[in-house]
């Protein structure tokens, strides 16, 4: 296939972010798969398919623990080797700075901070404890890294919710952690990212007169106000679209919703006021756009009613978090049936990209001093937070690959269910590592007679740290072509 090596147009941080941090807006709502709040999806797509071959049963050592592998194992060494990085607790790393800014809006007298939960969890913790149905696409091998059938790298911080409720140590908590998902390759997606989970509960047994609604409204009144414009057109609950739980009274769920929403609006106001300050530091003539924020109804298996918060940013609505009133079954199963409250989950990379104007998610993993030095000292003095200044833009090197799928795969027109694009993404990532900027499918057709399917992908090889030679890119690409044949059984065209 044609290989194009060119100098891509220069992106400013703003332009790149605007295009890249678009999360689900273009896709119709009920079927959207948003990688950072993907569990709002109701889509059902080949949940148990993967072409990738698995290693025969044996043991694997990860993070000082030994695990039995089985035929669910799909963890590549490139991911395993990054588990120890824990960017959310590295001093002065932008992910850690973002965490600290969000934590500052949740006082530690009420909210206990958990920043060191172990990343390998059971499927019980990651899915069952939260009420994920057995056929939920999030459980599939194509989306999740499995060590064995019952053990995964956590795909979200919600995996720890039930355990922390069971510990019952505080009225509220925050959990920050690295999470792992098999995914597309582009400048806003990386198979490891960071989330922050929070919850706040009230106990029927200890609030005055057992009146949850009154206690929550009182706490709500004590929260600071903000002057942001927030659109919230829907009622707190709706019998079909966003129902009240059977065990809850309407006025208590409404009070909890109000407390949740105000708490999160305060986070957004804080982030954007810091972002604005940084923008003015970089450019005193910076013209501020009116910040617009809106609540939209959502669905998660573990909350009801549920909402997402969207921010209007440079012409688009960006979804930044998922939240809701915690499913009462979670509380009951955690041994605290008298408690009721809210929870939310927020992706830290997305917020950090907005806050610092970081245009490519791979930068967070950079060990380059030109990146890291820009954030030194910020955690000791958050007011010194500055925008990221891109150090250079190296040339892109585009290479195409086209192939016929195996005729047995569903995407190839047969009845099986064995092809998933994430398998291609992983092969490319395994070989090219962070030297791959994005992988895009640009053509697809089905042969009218044979019913066989052909796919064409364009891979952009570009390092963030240096110029890649054409020879290097060619050698990556040759390896990718070979691996596609060996691992996915495709026929190159």
Q: Under the rule (CB under 6 A), what is the footprint of ligand DAH?
A: 37-39, 156, 158, 197, 300, 303, 322-324, 343-345
Q: Do the bridges between strand 120-122 and strand 151-153 make them parallel or antiparallel, or are there none, so unpaired?
A: antiparallel
Q: Between the CA of residue 125 and those of 75, 130, 142, 194, 485, what are the distances in Å?
A: 19, 8, 19, 18, 36
Question: Per the structure block, which two tokens stand in for 367?
Answer: 């060990």
In the bound state with ligand DAH, the residue whose beta carbon lies nearer, of 295 and 344, is 344
Question: Per the structure block, which two tokens stand in for 190?
Answer: 């990386």
In the bound state with ligand DAH, the residue whose beta carbon lies nearer, of 303 and 463, is 303
In angstroms, what is the minimal distance from the CB of 321 to ligand DAH?
A: 7
At 274 the three-state DSSP class reads: helix
In the bound state with ligand DAH, the residue whose beta carbon lies nearer, of 114 and 156, is 156
CA distance 331 to 276: 40
In the bound state with ligand DAH, the residue whose beta carbon lies nearer, of 158 and 188, is 158
In angstroms, what is the minimal distance from the CB of 36 to ligand DAH?
A: 6
Compute and round to an integer the Cα radius of gyration of the chain.
23
* Distance from chain centroid for Cα 405: 30
In the bound state with ligand DAH, the residue whose beta carbon lies nearer, of 37 and 459, is 37
In the bound state with ligand DAH, the residue whose beta carbon lies nearer, of 96 and 323, is 323
In angstroms, what is the minimal distance from the CB of 300 to ligand DAH?
A: 4
In angstroms, what is the minimal distance from the CB of 197 to ligand DAH?
A: 5
Question: Per the structure block, which two tokens stand in for 88?
Answer: 């959310």
In the bound state with ligand DAH, the residue whose beta carbon lies nearer, of 164 and 411, is 164
Place of tokens 């709002």: 40
In angstroms, what is the minimal distance from the CB of 309 to ligand DAH?
A: 11
CA distance 9 to 169: 53
In angstroms, what is the minimal distance from the CB of 156 to ligand DAH?
A: 4
Closest listed residue to residue 396, CA positions, set 440, 358, 443:
440
* Distance from chain centroid for Cα 390: 24
In angstroms, what is the minimal distance from the CB of 121 to ligand DAH?
A: 13
Q: Between the CA of residue 416 and those of 45, 113, 405, what are the distances in Å?
A: 13, 46, 12
């Amino acid at each position: 296939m044609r290989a194009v090596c060119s100098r891509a147009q220069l992106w400013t941080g703003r332009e790149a972010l605007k295009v890249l941090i678009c999360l689900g807006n273009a896709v119709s709502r009920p079927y959207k798969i948003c990688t950072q709040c993907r569990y709002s999806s109701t889509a059902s797509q080949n949940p148990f398919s993967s072409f990738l071959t698995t290693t025969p049963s044996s043991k694997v050592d990860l993070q000082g623990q030994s695990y039995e592998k089985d035929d669910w194992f799909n963890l590549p060494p490139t991911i395993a080797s990054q588990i120890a990085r824990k960017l959310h607790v590295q001093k002065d790393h932008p992910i850690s700075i973002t965490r600290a800014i969000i934590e500052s809006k949740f006082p530690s007298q009420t909210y206990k901070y958990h920043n060191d939960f172990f990343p390998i969890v059971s499927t019980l913790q990651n899915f069952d404890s939260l009420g994920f149905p057995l056929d939920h696409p999030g459980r599939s091998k194509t989306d999740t890294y499995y060590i064995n059938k019952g053990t995964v790298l956590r795909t979200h911080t919600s995996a720890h919710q039930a355990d922390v409720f069971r510990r019952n140590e505080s009225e509220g908590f925050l959990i920050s952690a690295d999470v792992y998902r098999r995914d597309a390759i582009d400048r806003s997606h990386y198979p490891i990212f960071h989330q922050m989970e929070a919850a706040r509960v009230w106990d029927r047994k200890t609030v005055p007169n057992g009146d949850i609604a009154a206690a929550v409204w009182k706490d709500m009144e004590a929260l600071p106000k903000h002057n942001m414009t927030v659109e919230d057109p829907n009622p707190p609950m709706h019998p079909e679209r966003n129902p009240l739980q059977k065990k809850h009274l309407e006025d208590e769920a409404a009070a909890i919703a109000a407390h949740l929403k105000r708490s999160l609006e305060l986070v957004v106001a804080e982030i954007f006021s810091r972002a604005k300050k940084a923008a003015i530091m970089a450019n005193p003539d910076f013209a501020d756009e009116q910040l617009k924020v809106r609540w939209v109804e959502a669905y998660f298996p573990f909350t009801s009613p549920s909402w997402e918060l969207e921010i209007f940013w440079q012409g688009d609505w960006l979804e930044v978090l998922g939240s809701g009133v915690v499913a009462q079954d979670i509380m009951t199963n955690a041994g605290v049936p008298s408690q009721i409250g809210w929870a939310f989950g927020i992706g830290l990379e997305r917020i950090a990209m907005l806050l610092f104007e970081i245009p490519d998610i791979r930068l967070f993993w950079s060990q380059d001093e030109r990146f890291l030095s820009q954030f030194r000292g910020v955690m000791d003095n958050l007011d010194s937070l500055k925008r990221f200044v891109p150090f250079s833009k190296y040339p892109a090197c585009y290479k195409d690959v086209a192939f016929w799928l195996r005729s047995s795969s569903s995407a190839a027109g047969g009845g099986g269910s064995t092809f998933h694009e994430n398998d291609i993404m992983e092969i490319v990532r395994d070989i090219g590592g962070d030297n791959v900027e994005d992988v895009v499918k640009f053509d697809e057709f089905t042969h009218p007679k044979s019913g066989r399917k052909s796919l064409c992908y364009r891979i952009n090889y570009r390092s963030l740290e240096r110029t890649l030679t054409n020879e290097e890119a060619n050698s990556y690409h040759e390896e990718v072509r070979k691996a596609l044949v060996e691992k996915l059984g495709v026929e190159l065209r």
